[in-house]
Structure 1
Amino acid sequence: MKIAIIGGGLSGLSTSVHIRLLAQKQNKPVPNITLFEASDRLGGVIHTETLTDNHGRTFVIDHGADMFATAPSAAIDLCEQLGVADQLLRPSPLGRGAMIARGNRLIPIPEGFVLMRPTKLGSMLTTPLLSLSGKLRLLQERFITRRADSVTDESVGSFVRRRLGHECLNNIVAPLVAGIYTADVDRLSMAATMKPIWDMETNDGSLAKATLRRIRTGEDSTEQASSGARYEKFRAFPNGMKQWIDTLADFTGRENIRLATAVRSIVPLPENRYQLNVESDRDGQSTHEFDQVVVSTPAHVAATLLQPLSDEAASTLRSIPFASTAIVVMAVRRDCIKRLPTTFGFVVPPKENRRVLAGSFASTKFPQRAPDDYVIVRAFVGGVMQPEILERSDDEIVNVVRTELGELIGLDQTQSLEDITATVKVVRWNDAMPQYEVGHLDKVQQIRAAVESLEGLHLNTNALGGVGIAPVIAASKRTAERILK
């Protein structure tokens, strides 16, 4: 069997790896896989840069994700299958969770608060993030009538206002959700992004009742000791996340990967086979025939490739909105940050009217990322709520971020940027974050139904669902299973 995989990001590479692993497990011949990547490198939005300055100091800088979740287990399971799990780093035990900006202060997320579900009532009643009325409103949650069975979706904003109150939404949930999806909570789909919590209301009647049940069964033992992102459930590679991409590429076989080779069109052939018309910098135009084709590209590229095959799939893909972001990465002298928190990062509520959406301290999470006297700070800007900042130059964005970090963590404003940093980078990701708006699952169903009618062709893109490394790998495994069924 000859299989083409279009796209050399995490989706495409992990699909290739899962096909090989599954074929070996089933004692089947390993298919002949060719992976096409239009750019000159693999990994897509996962990329790591290792910098050594004039003084011999080394900094490991991730341009995108700098770690992955172990729950769901798809990513850690694949690491174990490939024999690299013992190389993984755990976040430093010296760091503590995350914080939320309020004015010029960073306030800890209440202990036991996981995205939008409080599991420790005491911490919610003592947090300065909520007023007395906000806390009293939170206590009413268990008495709020659950939604009607006829309601199949709802925005995150509507759900949280209804169940927990507007203060909890604006002060805690909105910044946490924005830190993950760079989204507008009043458009983001509960059913598509927060299905477990959505189901708690359905099955238990309230989040409070669901929490009590989970405490009794031991399901919430870890959550109660966490707040915001559950950092104890994350892992990273010593040399940055590019090490993960290299591992997947090596298992795929570098000889099977065609870099700087763009697939221009997919042409159906008799007997459910496909011809790919490709163009490469080195070899020019050529055609290749395959038994199975996996499209693992960004949604807009996938829509163009699918247009001649399924107008419904292509048009529905194009209707899924995307957000752009930028990350300002600074390797800052530790003595130039007056109020460096011991947490791994922070998020900023939209109501604060700041340009920085969130920040993380990569070298606090993983001290191996920088020398002891430096801190790698990553600040995130843009997203669906503030796209206009991305129209500014890199220097302008850096200046805005520097000013706000001065207010939030005491970053030195008196010396030149060159004097307080070893490196500063602005990494832009255009149209990289799919927005799972209310009704998104209906679109996914339409796209999947249209693609399933094209026998031998498979679509695996994060536009369908699964922001994050583990969900992408889980989707890739399902794609491999469909191919080898």
Structure 2
Amino acid sequence: MVKRIAVIGGGLSGLTTAFYAKRYAPDSEVTVLESSSHLGGVIGTERVEIDRIGSFLIDRGADMFATDPPAAMELCRDLGVEQKLLIPQTDRAGVMIVCRGKLIPIPDGFVLMRATKLWQMITTPILSIRGKLRFLAERWVKPNPPGNSQSQGAASDDQSVADFVRQRMGQEVLDRLVGPLIAGIYTADIEKLSMNATMAPMVAMVREHGSLAKATLARRRAQQDATERQSAGARYEKFRGFPEGMAELIDALAAAIGEESIHLNARVQSLRYAPGDRPAWQLQWDQQTETFDEVVLATPAAVSARLLHSVAERDGDALAEIHSHCRSAADGLASIESASTAIVVLGVPKKVIRRLPDKFGIVVPACEHRSILAISFASHKYANRCPADHTLIRVFIGGATQSELLRQSDQQLIELVRRELADLIGLQGSESIARVVRWNNAMPQYHVGHQELASRVESAVDAIPALSLATNALRGVGISPVIANAKRVARRITAAAIP
């Protein structure tokens, strides 16, 4: 008998789950149900032609992915698109940080919280003498005893990123370096962001070696930090993108799954467990009801919670246990907060920028009291993003700490960005193109205690027959972690064939 699998959600998680489900079980019937009119979720690309100027290629979300962990590269190989991948132009690699109104390069070899080139930290103008001495003293700071976290809402030995860094390196390092780098990755409030959920390797280093400084020395002796010592911030030689933007990955997934298996504008209203000889689920969508042997929720936390609540609201004592597990999972998912962001994209003639940095981007610390989070120079990464006499700039606004800015209109956000760019890089003229991309509640927030919450949700879902979660709301928000999780889900749901 053919196994019928429904994947609810046509973002990267859902498409990857569907692709690998068909790959692992070719005889299965896989159906993707996407509520919007397009696939990809927060991944998308737009090409815009401007008369007498040229073409602009705009990634509406991520514009590249990391090769380590390897799940994204493995997916590209499995799709047959690996040969298309581009390495960023590493001659411009690196990030600058706003420091007292000036742009300063992040010290070479500084990776999130660790300095693999100590002299660069000692000589950087980003930190005061007092801040540098406090950073150097980290090697003598004792690890936080298990269960002794001071973070609000801490579970077990978890603590916030802010508390961890403040305790080990001091307030200045937190404000000027570590905080803005990590907050930019997760669009998060670092006073709430979980160390265990986001920076587990750093926690493990301190536990094993006593401090990050001692761990860095041990890694140097073992030659484990060779790549990091050549980088400032992200290791851009370990990133890849596509000639026509990240939408190429989504298009390749859709083509491999098959048009006949994908339904757009298909909003699932409810789920219903169908008892019988084997587990099954009835899905109500598009004014119809269909039965599937497996259901995968590849949707944001709030949507997954709504669908699971629709199961829990059904009556019937015989299904009380399943309803209870659905309710527990739904309550956990509903408690996960999410942040919204806007990306203002400007295509600007180079001649109207007085001080164009020769780096990939700029990070803006909260202590600078500005209205933007970060700036990315997309055309510095890949040459074909705009005409040669232009620069394509993406500016990030909002996140968990500045959500009030997103109440402004698109035009107001564009004007805000113009003012910030005028001050930071000397923008003195008009752009040739402007776009505003809004992502509402798109980034799940991993608050202190998140791992325990994720485990409770996973335990509840594991107890629900023939239902799985493939979501970035629990573990891993990057492209590769999302793909790795979706691949695991696909392998699990296809492990047992229907007799």
TM-score w.r.t. length of structure 1: 0.95
For residues 108 and 375 of structure 2, the distance between their equivalents in structure 1, rounded to whole angstroms, comes to 19
Q: Deviations over 1:61-90 (max 9, x none)?
A: 011111111111100111112221110011
SS in structure 2 at match of 1:178: helix
Query: Is the 2:53–2:387 contact (alpha carbons within 8 Å) kept by the matching residues of 1?
Result: no
For residues 412 and 198 of structure 2, the distance between their equivalents in structure 1, rounded to whole angstroms, comes to 33
**Pick from 472, 478, 488: which aligns with 1:478?**
488
Q: Deviations over 1:130-179 (max 9, x none)?
A: 11111111111111111213352010001011111111110001110121
Aligned equivalent of 1:437: 447
Q: In the TM superposition, what are the counterparts of 1:137-152 in structure 2 within 5 Å?
A: 137-151=134-148, 152=157
Letter paired with 1:132 = I
Letter paired with 2:108 = E
Aligned equivalent of 2:315: none
Aligned equivalent of 1:282: none
Q: Does 1:250 align with 2:255?
A: yes
Query: Is the 2:12–2:482 contact (alpha carbons within 8 Å) kept by the matching residues of 1?
Result: yes
Q: Does 1:15 align with 2:17?
A: yes
SS in structure 2 at match of 1:272: coil
Aligned equivalent of 1:277: 284
For residues 169 and 55 of structure 1, the distance between their equivalents in structure 2, rounded to whole angstroms, comes to 47
1:56 Cα deviation from its structure 2 partner: 5.9
Q: In the TM superposition, what are the counterparts of 1:60-459 in structure 2 within 5 Å?
A: 60-151=57-148, 152-270=157-275, 271-279=278-286, 285-307=287-309, 308-309=311-312, 310-412=326-428, 415=429, 420-459=430-469
1:218 Cα deviation from its structure 2 partner: 1.8
Letter paired with 1:167 = E
For residues 90 and 456 of structure 2, the distance between their equivalents in structure 1, rounded to whole angstroms, comes to 45
Letter paired with 1:437 = H
**Pick from 3, 6, 9: which aligns with 2:5?**
3
SS in structure 2 at match of 1:326: strand
For residues 438 and 48 of structure 1, the distance between their equivalents in structure 2, rounded to whole angstroms, comes to 34
Letter paired with 1:199 = A
Q: Which runs of 5+ in 2 are unaligned?
A: 149-156, 313-325
Q: Deviations over 1:395-422 (max 9, x none)?
A: 111111110111111111xx4xxxx322
SS in structure 2 at match of 1:140: helix
Q: Deviations over 1:409-468 (max 9, x none)?
A: 1111xx4xxxx3221011111111111000011110111011111111001111112111
For residues 112 and 100 of structure 2, the distance between their equivalents in structure 1, rounded to whole angstroms, comes to 21
SS in structure 2 at match of 1:59: strand
Letter paired with 1:447 = V
Runs of 4+ in structure 1 off by over 6 angstroms are: none
TM-score w.r.t. length of structure 2: 0.92
1:96 Cα deviation from its structure 2 partner: 2.6
1:203 Cα deviation from its structure 2 partner: 1.3
Q: How many matched pairs?
A: 469
Query: Is the 2:377–2:394 contact (alpha carbons within 8 Å) kept by the matching residues of 1?
Result: yes
Letter paired with 2:491 = E
For residues 240 and 142 of structure 2, the distance between their equivalents in structure 1, rounded to whole angstroms, comes to 39
Aligned equivalent of 1:53: 50
For residues 358 and 22 of structure 2, the distance between their equivalents in structure 1, rounded to whole angstroms, comes to 43
Q: Deviations over 1:244-289 (max 9, x none)?
A: 100011111111000111111111012211011001xxxxx11111
1:202 Cα deviation from its structure 2 partner: 1.1
Query: Is the 2:7–2:31 contact (alpha carbons within 8 Å) kept by the matching residues of 1?
Result: yes
1:205 Cα deviation from its structure 2 partner: 1.1
For residues 83 and 135 of structure 2, the distance between their equivalents in structure 1, rounded to whole angstroms, comes to 42
For residues 253 and 331 of structure 1, the distance between their equivalents in structure 2, rounded to whole angstroms, comes to 35
Query: Is the 2:6–2:295 contact (alpha carbons within 8 Å) kept by the matching residues of 1?
Result: yes
Query: Is the 2:43–2:62 contact (alpha carbons within 8 Å) kept by the matching residues of 1?
Result: yes
SS in structure 2 at match of 1:137: helix
1:94 Cα deviation from its structure 2 partner: 2.2
**Pick from 34, 38, 48: which aligns with 2:35?**
38
For residues 291 and 143 of structure 2, the distance between their equivalents in structure 1, rounded to whole angstroms, comes to 53
1:119 Cα deviation from its structure 2 partner: 1.1
For residues 494 and 209 of structure 2, the distance between their equivalents in structure 1, rounded to whole angstroms, comes to 39
1:118 Cα deviation from its structure 2 partner: 1.2
Identity between Structure 1 and Structure 2 (%): 51
For residues 301 and 421 of structure 1, the distance between their equivalents in structure 2, rounded to whole angstroms, comes to 38
1:103 Cα deviation from its structure 2 partner: 2.9
For residues 56 and 139 of structure 1, the distance between their equivalents in structure 2, rounded to whole angstroms, comes to 51
Letter paired with 2:470 = N
SS in structure 2 at match of 1:473: helix
